[in-house]
A and B are shown apart, each in its own frame.
Chain A
Amino acid sequence: MNSDHTPSLLEPAEQSRRWLRILSILDACRWVGLTPVTTGSLHVIAYLSEVLAPIWMLEPLDGKVLKQSTAPYYPALQQDIDRLIGMGLVRVDDLKIGRNNGDIPIVLPKISLIVERVEPILTVLRELPGEEVVLDFLREVVQAFSRLSDEQVPSSMSEDATYGSPAVDTGQVIDLGEWLSADETATSYTVDRIRQLAGDEMNPAEIIDVYVNHIVCRVNHE
Chain B
Amino acid sequence: MSDEKLGLWKDDDLSTMISRSTGNRYYQALPEEVQFVHSVAKVLAMRNAKDKTALCSAPSLYVLGPVPENVRVVPKREPTFSLGGVNVAGKIWFGAQAMNSCNGFAIFTGADSDAIFTFVSKTLASGSRPAIYFDGSSSEALLRFYPKGVDTPEDCEDILFGGANFNETILKDLLDRIHEKSLITPTAGSAAKDIWQDKEKGFPVERAEGAIQKIVQVGLVIGLGNLKVKSEETGVFGRYDLAVIEQDPLDPSKNTNHAILELKIVKAYTNSGNKVSDAANQKAVQKGIRQAFAYRMEHGSRFSALCCYDLRPAPSLHKYSTSKCKNAVKLDVKFWAWPIFSTPESARIWLEEKYLSGNT
Whether the pair A190, B26 counts as a contact (CB closer than 8 A) is no
Closest to A174 in B: B7
Q: Contact string, A191-204, partner B, CB cutoff 8 A, digits 1/0?
A: 00110011001111
Residue of B23, B65, B233 near A209 (CB, 8 A) is B23
Check: A122 CB closer than 8 A to any chain B CB. Answer: no
Check: B12 CB closer than 8 A to any chain A CB. Answer: yes
Classify chain B: how many residues form its interface, as a range: 35 or more
Q: Contacts A31-B66, A144-B100, A203-B25; is A189 near B6 (CB within 8 Å)?
A: yes
Check: B58 CB closer than 8 A to any chain A CB. Answer: no
Whether the pair A164, B8 counts as a contact (CB closer than 8 A) is yes
Which of B5, B80, B94, B95 has the most chain A CB atoms inside 10 A of its CB? B5
State the CA gap A146–B102 with chains docked (Å): 9
Q: Contact string, A20-61, partner B, CB cutoff 8 A, digits 1/0?
A: 000000000011111100000000000000000000000000
Task: Kindly provide the distance from the CB of A206 to the nearest chain B CB, expressed in whole angstroms.
Answer: 4
Contacts between chains A and B (CB distance < 8 A), count: 121
Whether the pair B103, A217 counts as a contact (CB closer than 8 A) is no
**Chain B neighbourhood of A193, CB < 8 A:** 3, 6, 14
Residue of A32, A140, A201, A205 near B233 (CB, 8 A) is A201
State the CA gap A180–B3 with chains docked (Å): 19
Q: Contacts A146-B100, A210-B17; is A32 near B95 (CB within 8 Å)?
A: yes
Whether the pair B7, A33 counts as a contact (CB closer than 8 A) is no
State the CA gap A147–B247 with chains docked (Å): 20
Closest to B102 in A: A33
Whether the pair A146, B25 counts as a contact (CB closer than 8 A) is no
Q: Contact string, B52-76, partner A, CB cutoff 8 A, digits 1/0?
A: 0000000000000111010000000
Whether the pair B100, A147 counts as a contact (CB closer than 8 A) is yes
Interface size on A, residues (CB 8 A): 47
Closest to B26 in A: A206
Can you give 21 contacting A-B residue pairs, CB < 8 Å?
A32-B96, A32-B101, A33-B67, A33-B96, A33-B103, A146-B79, A147-B80, A148-B79, A160-B8, A165-B7, A165-B8, A189-B5, A190-B14, A202-B18, A202-B26, A205-B25, A206-B28, A209-B21, A209-B25, A210-B17, A213-B21
Interface of A with B (CB < 8 Å)? 30-35, 115, 139-140, 143-144, 146-150, 152, 159-162, 164-167, 185-187, 189-190, 193-194, 197-198, 201-206, 208-210, 213-214, 217-218
Beyond known contacts A143-B98, A159-B8, A164-B8: 15 more, CB 8 A cutoff: A32-B96, A139-B96, A140-B25, A140-B28, A147-B101, A149-B79, A152-B79, A161-B8, A186-B8, A193-B6, A197-B15, A198-B18, A209-B25, A214-B17, A217-B17
